[in-house]
Amino acid sequence: MKNISKKIIIGNWKMNLSYKDSVILGKKIINNLKGKRIKNEVVILPDFSALSSISQIIKKPLVLGAQDIAKNKLGAYTGEVSLESLKQLNCSYILIGHSERRQYFFDDEMIADKMKNVLENSNITPILCIGETLGQKRSGKTLLVLEKQIKTAFSKVGKLTNKKIIIAYEPVWAIGTGRIITVADAIVIHKKIKSLVEKICHNNLPKELGIIYGGSININNFSNFKDCSDISGLLIGGTSLKAGDFLNIVNNF
């Protein structure tokens, strides 16, 4: 199992912007990066309503991803968005199991099926989000929680040996709170996540694995996470809504 070849910066816009504002932000980022040589992979995750418009104007080096995916293939599943559509919109990445989905939309139960759907039916890279709550951290359960989340996510997947997978370690207590993990703690946990994947997928390891950090990253703290071989990139929420700040991170990580 290799590390992903380029570090990756991902902007998760969540449901913070309307369709029109998403297109405006998308255009700012696209125009700024168009034709530039960026050493990192740069991904934006607009909401579903904006994917189609942005997919028509997006230019390399920027690539597109989706914030979620249906667990089923096409069919009578009102309100869901299919993998087939995301393939047609040239999504390169799909977020699975973000803590807000786990908390508000009961995604825990569906994560294994979503991972299976993406990995078995596309070449799209899943970004699996894992992380402990403050209560779990305080009671010393972080590693147990992460192990359970990884075990569940990989419980239904088929052959992984030709697949690339990103795991985003996002402590729930750090998302949108302004509280941030120390780099030393992040490194310890990232190493542990890698060894958990090795244990859980032992004879079926993904070809490439990237373990990235997310939670209250901003322009004042992102550089602390730079140049750490165990931290393959960043998943950025709030700060990715400000084009200037996001681009600053993209250009300097």
Which amino acid is present at 185? D
Helix-then-strand count for the chain, H and E: 9, 9
Q: How far is CA 177 from the centre of its chain?
A: 18
Q: Burial code of 124-163, b = ≥16 C-beta within 10 A, e = fewer?
A: bbbbbbbbbbeebbeeeebeebbbebbebbbebbeebeeb
Size of the site for ligand PEP (CB under 6 A): 13
In the bound state with ligand PEP, the residue whose beta carbon lies nearer, of 206 and 233, is: 233
Please identify which residue in 11, 26, 131, 215 interacts with ligand PEP, judged by CB under 6 A: 215
Residue 132: HSE in the Cβ half-sphere, 13 Å Cα cutoff: 19
Please identify which residue in 33, 66, 89, 236 interacts with ligand PEP, judged by CB under 6 A: 236
User: Residue 85 and residue 91: Cα distance in Å, rounded?
Assistant: 9
Helix (H) / strand (E) containing 134? helix 134-138
- What's the DSSP call for residue 174? G
In the bound state with ligand PEP, the residue whose beta carbon lies nearer, of 200 and 219, is: 219
User: Per rule CB under 6 A, is residue 12 in the interface with ligand PEP?
Assistant: yes
Please identify which residue in 22, 40, 142, 216 interacts with ligand PEP, judged by CB under 6 A: 216
User: Per rule CB under 6 A, is residue 117 in the interface with ligand PEP?
Assistant: no
- Contacts to ligand PEP from residues 139-198, by CB under 6 A: 170, 175-176
In the bound state with ligand PEP, the residue whose beta carbon lies nearer, of 129 and 197, is: 129
User: Per rule CB under 6 A, is residue 65 in the interface with ligand PEP?
Assistant: no
In the bound state with ligand PEP, the residue whose beta carbon lies nearer, of 160 and 175, is: 175
Catalytic residues: 98, 170
**Site residues, ligand PEP (CB under 6 A):** 12, 170, 175-176, 214-217, 235-239
